[in-house]
Chain A
Amino acid sequence: MRFLKVCAVVVAVALIATTSVAIAGETLDAVKKRGYLIAGVNGGVFGFSMPDDKGVWTGLDVDTARAIATAVFGDASKIKYVPLTAVQRLPALQAKEIDVLCRNTTQTLTRETANGLNFAHVNYYDGQGFLVSRKLGVKSARELQGATICVLPGTTTELNVADFFRANDMRWRPVVIESTPELSKAFFAGRCDVLTSDLSQLAAHRATSPNPADYVLLPEIISKEPLAPVVRHGDDQWYDIVNWTVMALLQAEELGINSNNVDMMLKSQNPRVQRFLGVIPGMGKALGLDDNWAYNIVKQVGNYSQIYEANVGVNTSLGIPRGLNDQWYKGGLMFAAPFR
């Protein structure tokens, strides 16, 4: 009898092992069941994602994540932020620890293929630059022969700067520290001659440094950095939701809808506005969401222009003009696909 029992256990284990190869759970269902969205963010870039002195998360990436939570739940507060370092971020997403990564992450071919990820519409167009102390008297990145450079590991930045110095046949020495605040501290304490990162992040570091006026950005911009929210391969519906949430922020700006006038806009006779806000139903359904998803996003989070100006725009301490991040009809690159 005992032997039979043992046999039964072995067979059971064999059955479990051979048949239960994991099947993709729909991310949307998992998020809804959990009751809140888990978003991976950067913990220390002012203007993009950083908790303020009251512990409230603010920033452009944070607002993008809030917009996604609003699209799913109709409530921007149903969200949990997981601060991740550059090295942790992609494995965390692959391992399903987070639902979406809104952490100034550059879209690249390798990440979309070998890393098994998909990038949604870009929420910030950036480029890589160099921040140096004014005291060094350096005017151009080509004068940086032999410099010590602070750089975050596991980033495209790390690769671009190596490429730049190789292309110009110059020597340099990296100091790579995984934590963004620690890296910035080391730079401002003088451990490195140069801090390199995306321009927006350099502006953020400079704005939060003890003496912002002592540091200058060099004129060279050595890369293109389209920063976008990221999801895993294998769940197209979830990708659509994240992608079209970013587009909704842009589309709202294009249609002139913001958080103040969105209720008035519900009465608009413009069919594009009606379709967007769900007055003419169908768009939300197609995504597997409520038809008033876009209305909720604009009402609770705002449109892209509002988010931009509140977090990084010219009236903030970062003071970054819209530039590439302006709408297509104003000479920028922001171009939402049609909502129909």
Chain B
Amino acid sequence: MAQEVKDSPEITTSAKISFWYDPTKRAVIYQVVVLGIVGMVAYYLFSNTLANLERQNIATGFGFFTKEASFEIGESAIPYSAADTYGRALLVGVLNTIKVSFIGIILTVILGTFLGIARLSRNWLVAKLAGIYIEVMQDIPVLLQLVFWYAVFYDTFPSPRQALNPISGVFLCNRGMAFAVPEPHPVYGYMALALVIGCLAVWVLRRWAKKRQEKTGQIFPVVLISLAILLVLPLATWLLGGAPLKMNVPKLVGFNFEGGTTFSPEFAALLLGLVLYTAAFVAEIVRAGIQAISRGQVEAAMSMGLKPGQVLRLVILPQALRVIIPPLTSQMLNLTKNSTLAIAIGFPDFVSVANTTINQTGQAIEGVGMIMVVYLFFSLSTSGFMNWYNKRVALVER
């Protein structure tokens, strides 16, 4: 074998083989040709589109970014008014999409894990309830679920003037949930700083505890001490800073509540619909991951004297995660992409704002291109992060 390979260069360099019949050169030529065709098709589509737009006198380019948007947006994470630019309006949309996707993904993973484990429970009732939930939620289209939750919010809750007030400072009505937030105070900044320092301390502590355990076999109660550090540090800062207690309580002024913070029915319905739907899929993924681990692993761990909690934490989960992460990533992407259904229930996500922009400027191609780029970016960064995490938890073969 080795001998033949060694011989081959002589054959190709011999004059008998013409240029066209040299497999290596031919492969290169084919690739260049394919690339050329792809490029030409792209150019054709691009130039054809431009020509058509020009013929219809439709404006092109991204000049509209700096023009005044002159439409209002219902909710925004940054200050925005109709006098701001289209660029800022689109940024508001991007931030709204990030907000609902980020919170949604976290809640979905928590709820999904819980449901997945519940479905494997030895308790008959718990297992059946989880099973019914998963089957029902998976089988109803998410758009219907969104419309349903939205209707529930505006149909069942009273008008602002008869708002429910379940606990002091919280008001529930068909304009959403308004609740009190602390008045801005410099101490809160220091508290956040204390929390960051606490996190760093916990990280150092964990490394130290692990090293000590490896050396001496002594187990340090890391979890309890960590929790204590994370709680005590910010709390101490708050007390030192004079313990400010002033709250910004929502008040009914005219038509609506002013002050505090409000979760709109649109946001709540979108979040609830997406989380409840996607969690059903995540639950099945978690169940599959846990069931993928052979029973022998558990038995072996127990025979080594590990407690059930330790079996789950040290043996089952690390192995289950390898199975869970890749499909979980795709569910996260699904949730982000499904958040575009917000348009049906009036939450101003990126697609909703971009659609309005398209309509007011008439520049559909730029708008749709922008939507594609933004969601591509969301998806690639989510899956990039999850791939990195997957590599970390993947089985290291020795």
Chain A interfacial positions (CB closer than 8 Å to B): 2-3, 6, 9-10, 13-14, 16-18, 20-22, 24, 86-87, 90-91, 94-95, 110-111, 113-116, 136, 144-148, 153-155, 158-159, 161-163, 165-166, 172-179, 182-183, 185-186, 189-191, 193, 232-234
Contacts of A6 in B (CB 8 A): 29-30, 33
Q: Are B20 and A162 in contact (CB under 8 A)?
A: no
Given A16-B44, A159-B70, A233-B57, the answer on whether A87 and B82 have CB atoms closer than 8 Å is: no
Cα–Cα, bound, A3→B20 (Å) = 7
Contacts of A16 in B (CB 8 A): 44
Which of the candidate stretches B203-211, B249-257, B283-291 sits at the interface with the other chain?
B249-257
Q: Are B74 and A189 in contact (CB under 8 A)?
A: no
Cα–Cα, bound, A240→B81 (Å) = 41
Contacts of B44 in A (CB 8 A): 16-18
- CB contact list, B315-368 vs A, under 8 A: 343-346, 348, 352, 355-356, 358-364
Q: Are B57 and A159 in contact (CB under 8 A)?
A: no
Q: Are B51 and A22 in contact (CB under 8 A)?
A: yes
- Least Cβ distance of A213 to chain B in Å? 19
Write out, one digit per residue, whether chain B residues 54-67 have a CB within 8 A of any chain A CB (1) or not (0).
01111100000000
Which of the candidate stretches B8-16, B129-137, B151-159, B231-239 sits at the interface with the other chain?
B151-159
Q: Are B359 and A176 in contact (CB under 8 A)?
A: no
Cα–Cα, bound, A24→B57 (Å) = 13
Contacts of A179 in B (CB 8 A): 344
Q: Are A232 and B258 in contact (CB under 8 A)?
A: no
Known contacts A21-B48, A153-B355; 19 further A-B pairs (Cβ under 8 A)? A6-B30, A9-B37, A10-B36, A91-B359, A94-B56, A111-B362, A113-B57, A114-B59, A114-B362, A116-B53, A136-B255, A172-B72, A173-B256, A176-B74, A176-B348, A177-B346, A178-B344, A233-B57, A233-B58
- Least Cβ distance of A283 to chain B in Å? 28
Contacts of B255 in A (CB 8 A): 136, 144-148, 193
Cα–Cα, bound, A310→B316 (Å) = 73
- Least Cβ distance of A90 to chain B in Å? 6
Interface of B is mostly: helix
**B41, B73, B253, B360: the one within 8 Å of A146 (CB):** B253
Contacts of A232 in B (CB 8 A): 56
**10 closest A-B pairs (Cβ-Cβ)?**
A115-B362, A154-B359, A17-B44, A116-B56, A116-B58, A162-B82, A114-B59, A177-B346, A191-B154, A91-B364
Write out, one digit per residue, whether chain B residues 195-215 have a CB within 8 A of any chain A CB (1) or not (0).
000000000000000000000
A-B CB contact pairs (8 Å), 29 listed: A2-B20, A3-B20, A6-B29, A13-B40, A13-B41, A16-B44, A21-B51, A24-B55, A87-B356, A91-B359, A94-B362, A115-B362, A116-B58, A153-B352, A158-B356, A161-B72, A162-B70, A166-B83, A172-B72, A173-B74, A175-B266, A177-B345, A179-B344, A182-B345, A189-B154, A189-B155, A190-B159, A191-B154, A232-B56
